Amino acid sequence: MKKLIKKTLIMTMALILIFSMVACSSSKNDDADKKDEITVTEGKKNEEAKKKPIKLRIYAQYADDDTKVPYDYALDALKKEMPHVELELDVQAQDDGQKIKTYAATGNLPDIFQANLDIINTFKTSNNIMVLDEYVEKLGFKEKMHPSAMNTLYTDDGHCYAFPYAGNELVLLYYNKEIFEQNGVEVPKTYDEFLQAVKVFNSKGIIPLALFAKEKWPCVALFDIFATRLEPQGILKLDRGEGKASEESYTVAAQRIVELVKAGLLPKGATNMNYDQAAALFHQGKAAMFINGQWEIEASTEALGDKVDWMYYPAYDQSTYESTKYAFSGGGGPSGYAVSPRSEYKDVAAEVAAFISLKYAECKYTMRGNPIIATKVDAPIVKPYPPMMQKLAQDIPKITSTTAFAWGLGNAKFKAAIEDNAQKLLTGFYSAEDFVKDMNKLLE
């Protein structure tokens, strides 16, 4: 019986080995053959592609009006510009990049896909993303970029991996003018005034600040707002490994958040609050302030009309208010539509990616009331900007510095840690000293 079991096991193992070897070797051969084939016929295919109908797979955001409308707009324009190209949409999942990374690992990347800095950094080391420098030149994409948004086109290594459409988006601190007026609270210019406002609202049963802190990036944004009052580079400096969390700007930011939380800055259970819940508090007039990106302007204006506005972040003190008021949290980074190096029609895919990016930005600018885009737009504005956006548009040229949203950070380890620790700061059980210690340990 023992012998039989032994034999069976040996046979099984041998079968598995043979199976694996055959599978691996055949796939290797296939890959090699394919590579040669693609190199030889690539030019020919791309030429033919311009004439015959071709289908490209695209992995893109398509979840709400802010993503569906621009995508559909770009698709309509593409049908007129390149009628022979058909796009097969694979809707991007909100899954920390699991799906796209799995596609890459299994060699199934779509021809075109949306990539942020994390994806770019991961994919470029494994040759899963195409360098687009040649196409930037060929298609004149660089000339179409806003000079101020050039940071969204090239990564630190000087190469372009994705055609951007979003500009340097910003974190805004929204407030309900009516609540401030009714409670005799001036719009705070300094941290002390901000703390005082929090105390006044609390004493009157009004939630000072609604924050959807279940998503961790708003927690990071809140920290960054205070950090940028003393260090304009904010979290970006730490992300790049150019600073330490024990520097005054970060220590003070952490201490101030702890102090504000103790003073009752946030609603109960804020760390478990999603966007809908937090936005409802602000839109229904139950919260005096709200933090979100500038894309919130549309929804807040719709809900609160002219009662809503955004304020400059509260300065470290009165003397630094003017000098730091245009130092914004948020910002852009290399991201946009990228191309798979394994695409059968690389040239066409790159051309389509560039075209889609341009049209996507055009739609955001003309129809979605968003002037913060990466590329220049000639088309007339269809939907006028709300007053808050007009105010922001006037301030954009005056902006002295931006940082980054949490999702735009390049150091994945730092990103995960700052997200966790910034959220912890909002719970009241985590001290500023522990925050600094933990962040410094990570940055070592």
Partner 1 sequence: MHKYLKNKVAIIVFTLPALVVFSIIVFYPIIQTFYKSMFDWNGLGKGTFIFLDNYVRLLGDRLFYTSLRNGLIFAAVLVILQIGIGTFLALAVSDVTLKGRSFLRVTYFIPVVLSITVVCQLWLSIYNEELGLINKLMEQLGLSYRQHWLSSEKGAIYAIAVVNAWQYMGYHFALIFAAVKSLPEQYFEAARIDGAGKIKAHLNITIPLLYETYKFCLILAITGGLNAFANMFIMTNGGPGDATYTLTFLMYRSAFRVNEFGYGCAAAAVLVIECLLATIIINKLFGREQITY
Q: Which stretch binds partner 1 (CB under 8 A): 117-125, 177-185, 225-233, 295-303?
A: 117-125
Q: Which stretch binds partner 1 (CB under 8 A): 46-54, 150-158, 331-339, 419-427?
A: 419-427
Report the nearest approach of partner 1 to the CB of residue 9 (Å): 8
Residue from 125, 384, 398, 444 touching partner 1 (CB under 8 A): that is 125
Residue from 95, 134, 137, 302 touching partner 1 (CB under 8 A): that is 95
- Helices (DSSP H) in 312-411: which residue ranges? 321-324, 346-367, 387-395
Number of helices (H) and strands (E) in the chain: give both, helices first: 18, 8
Count of other CB atoms within 10 angstroms of residue 101: 18
Residue from 25, 26, 29, 272 touching partner 1 (CB under 8 A): that is 272
Residues in the chain: 444
Q: Which amino acid is residue 137, in one-letter code?
A: E
Q: Which stretch binds partner 1 (CB under 8 A): 90-98, 149-157, 177-185, 347-355?
A: 90-98
Give which of 160, 145, 158 is closest to 374, Cα–Cα. Answer: 145
- Annotate each residue in 183-222 with x if it binds partner 1 (CB under 8 A) or - if it does not, as one string: -------------------------------x-x------
- DSSP state, 274? -
128 sits near partner 1 (criterion: CB under 8 A): yes
| List of residues 6+ apart from 4 with CB closer than 8 A | none
How far, in Å, CA of 350 to CA of 112, rounded?
8
How far, in Å, CA of 440 to CA of 331, rounded?
24
413 sits near partner 1 (criterion: CB under 8 A): yes
Q: Which is nearer to partner 1, 272 or 319 (CB)?
A: 272
Residue from 2, 44, 51, 268 touching partner 1 (CB under 8 A): that is 268
Half-sphere exposure (Cβ direction) of 226: Cα atoms closer than 13 Å: 22
The two structure tokens encoding residue 22? 């055959």
How far, in Å, CA of 169 to CA of 374, rounded?
10
Report the nearest approach of partner 1 to the CB of residue 387 (Å): 32
User: Do residues 114 and 60 lie in contact, with contact meaning Cβ atoms separated by under 8 Å?
Assistant: yes
Residue from 73, 123, 165, 282 touching partner 1 (CB under 8 A): that is 123
101 sits near partner 1 (criterion: CB under 8 A): yes
* Interface with partner 1 (CB under 8 A): 1, 4, 8, 11-13, 15-16, 19, 95-98, 101, 104-105, 118, 122-123, 125-126, 128, 214, 216, 267-272, 412-413, 415-416, 420-421, 423-424, 426-427, 429-430, 438
